[in-house]
């Protein structure tokens, strides 16, 4: 008997829909309080529920991530640093990168200070190393990034400052030169990085509901986003033009800013913006609800945009034992599943590094320089539970993809069969009762579509 015909599955699906139908709206404060409650509930669920790779009967621990991802129809990527790729005493780094991933992004080497360290002097060789390495391994590359407040060379901030017109010319020249150097070689480009405000009220410095100050570019160049996107299109029409940001993964104030801004830009200039990057720097102690992540991806997809998870890592503050690494695995698996459930919209999932040995989190808000174990491979390149969970989720999706269409139509929406099948009702708190928590966005930038998506029964 197939899964979609089983009684157990149908009962679980019914319970899920009842939960969704009893949904209620929340104030901002309530939503914040529930965030903690959801995290605790999910921890309990993770402890109670076996991970997918332990229960999926066709799990193949020997397949690589990139092979399973290709069969599932998405890309799986990693941020790579040239210093690690070229370190002859650590051959496992480049071998793991090439064998397990089919998408690369340079962690730092394509940023402004690396590619234009002095004005009009372009050095793209280190950026090329990352792009070429993955392309030589049969994969693809994404470019990160053109306009950001970080990783800029000092010459961009002279005193007195450049005139706004000069600054615009500098940005357009940078994009033309770097974009031109990689034209046809990269599949996605973060044209703008981290532009969005973290709060809903207009920022007093910019008087803008959506954007935060991003020196030197904004507010000096008021239309810097469409202008940079136009320059990127001229430099390389084939690479998908992304805006990439953090903290906008689930259904909250910031993701609504991103959504509403994108909706306006898509209406004003169709085809200019093509994708939204969800960075996904999350934490075992605070992570987004996967149902909200999936709903967020879906609504962006309805604007005609692609989405990608662009910088995923899951910080695990010590003590980080087996229980917390299991929760970390679940968080990774849930995000990959959210991507897979947005087929045709979500292009893939990129982790911000390969091994726990090298992560920006060794230094970020980490005064004792502890191992936060945020990635899929441990410091000795051992495969972690998170690795196996991602692999299992990809393999389950590949299996569903190969299944007859009639069966897929019954169980794909709104909860994946894999999630429900592996989640006893009491334990699957992240999946089932999540529907009762936050169908209403907490500000005036409420979007009714989300509620509709939640309550919609499967066909």
Residues that bind ligand G3I (CB under 6 A): 107-108, 111, 150-151, 193, 279, 311, 360
Nearer to ligand G3I, 90 or 399 (CB): 90
Strand partners, 309: 278, 349
The smaller minimum CB distance to ligand G3I, of residues 194 and 337, is found at: 194
193 vs 342 by CB, closer to ligand G3I: 193
Choose among 269, 262, 264, 287: nearest CA to 386.
Answer: 287
Residue closer to ligand G3I (CB basis): 157 or 452: 157
Cβ atoms of residues 315 and 282 within 8 Å: yes
Shortest distance, CB of residue 267 to ligand G3I, whole angstroms? 28
Q: At what angle do helices 164-181 and 224-235 cross, to 10 degrees?
A: 30
Whole-number Å distance between alpha carbons of 250 and 256? 9
Q: Which is nearer to ligand G3I, 249 or 337 (CB)?
A: 249
Rounded CA separation 333/384 (Å): 12
Least separation in angstroms between CB 134 and ligand G3I: 17
Strand partners, 190: 144, 242
Q: Which is nearer to ligand G3I, 311 or 337 (CB)?
A: 311
CB of 429 to ligand G3I, least distance (A): 29
- Which residues neighbour 128 within 8 Å (Cβ) at sequence distance 6 or greater? 181, 182
Least gap, CB of 156 to ligand G3I (angstroms):
14
CB 283 within 8 A of CB 331: no
Of 395, 373, 244, nearest in space to 306 by CA: 244
Residue 16 tokens, joined: 């899920």
| CA 4/CA 360 separation, integer angstroms | 43
CA–CA dist 75, 329 (Å, integer) = 19
Closest CB to ligand G3I among residues 12, 240: 240
For the CB of residue 20, give the shortest distance to ligand G3I in the complex, in Å: 33
Closest residue to ligand G3I using C-beta atoms: 360
Q: In the bound complex, what is the minimum distance in angstroms from residue 79's beta carbon to ligand G3I?
A: 7
Among residues 106 and 396, whose Cβ is nearest to ligand G3I? 106
- Cβ(216)–Cβ(159) under 8 Å? no
CB of 77 to ligand G3I, least distance (A): 14
To the nearest whole angstrom, how small is the minimum distance from the Cβ of residue 352 to ligand G3I? 6
**CA nearest 117: which of 76, 160, 174, 68?**
174
């Amino acid at each position: 008997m197939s899964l979609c015909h089983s009684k157990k599955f149908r009962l679980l699906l019914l319970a899920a829909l009842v939960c969704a139908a009893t949904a209620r709206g929340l104030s901002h404060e309530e939503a914040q309080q529930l965030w903690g409650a959801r995290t605790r509930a999910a921890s309990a669920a993770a402890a109670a529920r076996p991970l997918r790779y332990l229960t999926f009967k066709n799990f193949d621990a020997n397949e690589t991530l990139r092979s399973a991802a290709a069969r599932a129809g998405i890309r799986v990527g990693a941020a790579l640093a040239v210093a690690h790729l070229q370190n002859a005493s650590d051959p496992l780094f480049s071998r793991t990168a090439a064998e397990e991933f089919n998408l690369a992004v340079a962690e730092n080497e394509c940023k402004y200070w690396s590619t234009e360290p002095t004005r009009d002097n372009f050095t793209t060789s280190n950026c090329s190393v990352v792009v070429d390495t993955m392309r030589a391994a049969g994969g693809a590359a994404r470019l990160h990034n053109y306009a950001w407040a970080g990783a800029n060379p000092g010459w961009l901030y002279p005193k007195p400052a450049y005139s706004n017109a000069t600054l615009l010319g500098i940005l357009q020249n940078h994009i033309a030169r770097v974009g031109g150097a990689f034209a046809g070689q990269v599949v996605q480009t973060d044209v703008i990085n981290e532009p969005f405000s973290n709060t809903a009220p207009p920022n007093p410095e910019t008087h803008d509901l959506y954007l935060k100050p991003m020196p030197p570019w904004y507010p000096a160049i008021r239309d810097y986003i469409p202008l940079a996107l136009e320059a990127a299109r001229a430099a390389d029409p084939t690479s998908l033009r992304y805006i990439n940001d953090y903290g906008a993964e689930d259904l909250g104030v910031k993701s609504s800013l991103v959504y509403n801004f994108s909706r306006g830009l898509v209406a004003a200039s169709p085809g200019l913006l093509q994708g939204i990057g969800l960075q996904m720097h999350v934490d075992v102690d605070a992570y987004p609800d996967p149902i909200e992540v999936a709903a967020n991806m879906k609504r962006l997809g309805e604007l005609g945009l692609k989405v990608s998870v662009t910088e995923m890592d899951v910080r695990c503050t010590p003590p980080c034992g087996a229980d917390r690494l299991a929760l970390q695995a679940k968080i990774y698996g849930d995000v990959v599943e959210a991507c897979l459930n947005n087929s045709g919209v979500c292009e893939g999932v990129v982790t911000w590094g390969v091994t726990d040995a090298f992560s920006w989190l060794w230094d970020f808000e980490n005064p004792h320089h502890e191992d936060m174990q945020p990635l899929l491979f441990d410091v000795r390149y051992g495969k972690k539970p998170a690795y196996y969970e991602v692999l299992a989720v990809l393999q389950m999706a590949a299996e569903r993809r190969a299944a007859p269409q009639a069966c897929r139509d019954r169980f794909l929406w709104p909860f994946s069969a894999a999630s429900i099948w592996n989640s006893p009702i009491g334990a699957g708190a992240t999946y089932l009762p999540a529907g009762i928590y936050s169908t209403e966005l907490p500000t005036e930038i409420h979007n009714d579509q989300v509620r509709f998506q939640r309550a919609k029964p499967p066909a």
